[in-house]
Amino acid sequence: MVEHITDEVMVIYLGRCVEKGSKEEIFNNPRHSYTQALLSAMPHLKPHR
C-alpha cells in the first residue's frame, strides 16, 4: 500500500533511519536486511486463485 501513496520511503529500525530513497529504489532493490524482511512479510495477491 505504501508504494501506491508515496514517492519517497524511509525505513526506520530501532529508532534510526536505515534506508531512504525513492519507492522504486526501496521496493525494487532493498539493501538493508530489515527492509528486505519487511518486504518479504507483505502479503501478495494471487489473482489465479
Pick from 10, 44, 4, 37: which is nearest to 26 by CA?
A: 10
- Summarize pLDDT for 12-22 with one digit per residue, the tens: 999 999 999 99
Amino acid at 17: C
pTM of the model: 0.78
C-alpha cell, 26: 526501496
Name, in order, each residue with C-beta under 8 angstroms of 49's C-beta and a sequence gap of 6 or more. none
At 31, the pLDDT band (50, 70, 90 cuts) reads very high
| pLDDT averaged over every residue in the chain | 90
